[in-house]
Amino acid sequence: METKSCQNCKKDFVIEQDDFLFYEKIKVPPPTFCPECRLQRRLVWMKGLDLFKRKCDLCGEVKISMYHPDAPYVVYCTKCWWGDGWDPADYSMEYDSNRTFFEQWNELYHKTPVFGLSTDKITTELSPYTNHVGNSKHSYLIFYSYLVEDSAYGFEITNSKNIYNCGTILNSENCFDSSNVYKSYNIVSSSGNTRSCYDCFFIRDCEGCHHCFGLSNGKNQSYVFLGEQLTKEKYEESVNNIDMGSYSQYLQWKEKVINYFKTISPKPVWETLSQNISGSYIFNSKNCHNCFDVTDCEDSKFLMLIKIGKVKDSYDYTDWGENVELLYECMTVGDQAQNVKFSHDCGHGISNIEYSKLSTGSSYNFGCISIKKSDYCILNKKYSKEEYFELRKKIIKDMDINPYRSIEGHTYKYGEFLPPEFSPHSYNDSFASRVFPLTIDTVISKGLKWYGGEKKEYRVTIQTVDIPDNTAEVDETILNEVLQCGTCVRGFKIISQELQFLQQHHLPLPRQCPFCRVWEKVDKCVDNMKQVERNCDKCGINFITHYSKEEALKIFCKECYKKEFL
């Protein structure tokens, strides 16, 4: 075990003996940034929700893009990027030992075509208004999701259908205004930890429940209304007296249930089917520490937002998954990836990739951009196997002798993730801003970008206060209206599939724009990752949870919770 001082925040952090064994296994030096600063550095590269209209630099058509029209990059639409009409090798660079490696990498990034949206062909065709989404159909404004159908306004949705205004949903159908739902059906406003439930409203920490309204810590229960066990007939009478299609009634009951839940101890740590773990929202995993919102992970540390297993022997890895092993300091990497380090947005059968972006189906790429199915490449130039390893060795030595120094004076040798100032995205439209909020002055002082927002005037045709309270009172003419968001200045429209879903399930029309709704679910996910010290209100022991005193007036430790509710 060794204690080191973080380059960035100057705080001490501990590297355990198991950590050193991992670094030795993948042949990297120990980190010089603490875990929190390493996470913040990666999250600067995790694009937020803003999308723009931008011309494709190949076909010339105006497309939806994650890159601002003025961003100094070569941006292709997804169809062109995946097509055969160009060759990444045409942008290759000879390595120059007189310049730092990171400066050359950044130059390559600015001239090599990148895709405007991180989607595959089927998603591009059937769900064009999405980003970082794969294998999805007929979905709209879904982000960082996979295998989604007939859904809108969501984040981290996986293998699910008919999902609206939700975050972190897995293997579920017909969910609305909910977070952290697994293998469930017809769920309205679950505030988290719903597993194998159906036909429920306003539930939390429930498993195997059905026909419940306002239930916390339920297991295999039915016909419970605000914690009271009722007969089927009495339950149906109570629920039928509530008009969930009324916006005012929906908010009234949501607030009432939230206040009711504050008086009941929630499940202190969500670690379903897991052993020897630490963190929060860990599912079917073992030997994983400091992990948050992960599934099917093993022998790993500092993971976050792993929505698809299996993940093995990986550290400092954020977003994606899907059968990967030996990943280190990676952001949005997955699908049969092995031995990948310091890379962003790579995947689909890759191995031995370092310091690369958008490498797919390749092996032995070092410092590459947009390489597809090509091995032994450095700065996009192809080498023989022997030449590759010889030059790679020289570059690593040069990185240690002549490191890149950031605007803040941080030293970037081999072993550090991509410098945050190289991210093309503004700090306030990255996930870093939600986990590590900073002021605009602080962001600019760090040499990072800040986006002031488009100066766009919205031709609002109806204020949200003038919308009929009940969805049943609305017809298809609402689809032609531009509504004023009740939270920000944006105007927005109701889309046809959304109106159909809401009317079919007797749910209220939104008063917030889609982006405010999705960010709300992102912030809920971030809130679930915080670690708070609390004392058990039953035995008095001190323990770690993500529930603050404001969120849960009373809370039990894991052992007391089991005795009380399980």
- The model's pLDDT over 289-299, given as tens digits with 9 standing for 90+, comes to 999 999 999 99
Distance CA 6, CA 301 (A): 18
pLDDT category of residue 146 using cuts at 50, 70 and 90: very high
The pLDDT of residue 115: 95
The pLDDT of residue 464: 85
Six-digit token pair at 106?
């950044």
Indicate the residue type of 318: T
Six-digit token pair at 184?
């469930």
pLDDT beyond 80 at 170? yes
Could you say which DSSP state residue 372 is in?
B
CB 547 within 8 A of CB 532: yes
What does the H/E/C string look like for 203-250? EECEECCEEEEEEECCECCEEEECCEECCHHHHHHHHHCCCCCEHHHH
Pairing mode, if any, of strands 222-225 and 228-229? antiparallel
Distance CA 397, CA 392 (A): 9
Could you say which DSSP state residue 351 is in?
E
Q: CB atoms < 10 A from the CB of 293, how many?
A: 25
Q: For tokens 């931008």, what's the residue?
A: 54
Mean pLDDT over residues 219-235, rounded?
97
pLDDT category of residue 566 using cuts at 50, 70 and 90: confident
Q: Buried b vs exposed e over 322-361: b needs ≥16 C-beta within 10 Å?
A: bbbbbbbbbbbbbbebbbbbbbbbbbbebbbbbbbbbbbb
CB 176 within 8 A of CB 166: yes
Distance CA 367, CA 382 (A): 12
Six-digit token pair at 366?
């070092």
Pairing mode, if any, of strands 324-334 and 337-341? parallel
Backbone phi and psi for residue 109, each to the nearest 5 degrees, phi listed first: -65, -35
pLDDT category of residue 455 using cuts at 50, 70 and 90: low
Could you say which DSSP state residue 473 is in?
G
Please report, for residues 32, 41, 247, 411, 454, the alpha-carbon distance to residue 405 in angstroms, rounded to integers and kept in the order given.
14, 15, 54, 5, 32
Six-digit token pair at 212?
């419940």
CB 299 within 8 A of CB 310: no
pLDDT digits (tens, 9 = 90+) for 422-448: 999 999 999 999 999 999 999 999 999
The pLDDT of residue 244: 97
pLDDT digits (tens, 9 = 90+) for 178-219: 999 999 999 999 998 899 999 999 999 999 999 999 999 999
pLDDT digits (tens, 9 = 90+) for 332-375: 999 999 999 999 999 999 999 999 999 999 999 999 999 999 99
Q: What percent of the chain has pLDDT over 70?
A: 99
Six-digit token pair at 498?
């959304």
Indicate the residue type of 186: N
Mean pLDDT of the chain: 96
3-state secondary structure of 22: helix
List the beta bridge partners of residue 286.
Answer: 275, 298
pLDDT beyond 80 at 454? no
Mean pLDDT over residues 25-54, rounded?
97
The pLDDT of residue 272: 84
pLDDT digits (tens, 9 = 90+) for 350-359: 999 999 999 9
Could you say which DSSP state residue 419 is in?
P
Mean pLDDT over residues 150-174, rounded?
97
The pLDDT of residue 360: 97
